Amino acid sequence: MSKAMVVDDSRTIRMILRRILTEIGFDVCEAGDGVEALQIIEANKPNVTLVLADWNMPTMNGFDLLKQLRLNPEYASLKIVMVTTEAEVGHMASALHAGANEYVMKPFTKEILVQKLEMIGITSPASV
């Protein structure tokens, strides 16, 4: 089963994203920062196919996580979506330039998230 990794230091945001991803058919794992996420992704490769990461987190932020994942050729096909309150165009451009597949602004709805996932070629595993 395809796994999605939700990386956010907010337990509430992780819960919201978990619920949405579970509803559309993903098995979901969670991390509170980038360091924890890297460990979990490494332990679950190649099953993790999607990462939703916040920008602002302690220890390792989502932008640094993105750059670390993109340095490793094993994760070249991994879809990475930044889900963040960072609304500056410069942040969005930096994330996309560093290899993010898409960028979602908080607050978001299930419809917006699903639409963004479809834009990068991810359809609900439940519909396959």
Domain boundaries, the chain: 3-127
> What does the pLDDT look like over 26-73, one tens digit per residue?
999 999 999 999 999 999 888 999 999 999 999 999 999 999 999 999
> What does the pLDDT look like over 81-117, one tens digit per residue?
999 998 888 999 999 999 999 999 999 999 999 999 9
**Mean pLDDT lowest for which of 10-14, 93-97, 112-116, 119-123?**
119-123
Q: What are the DSSP calls for 25-64, one per residue?
A: T-EEEEESSHHHHHHHHHHHTTTEEEEEE-S--SSS-HHH
CA 71 to chain centre: 16
How much is the pTM?
0.93
The hierarchical CATH code for the domain 3-127 is 3.40.50.2300
pLDDT band at 124 (very low <50, low <70, confident <90, very high): low
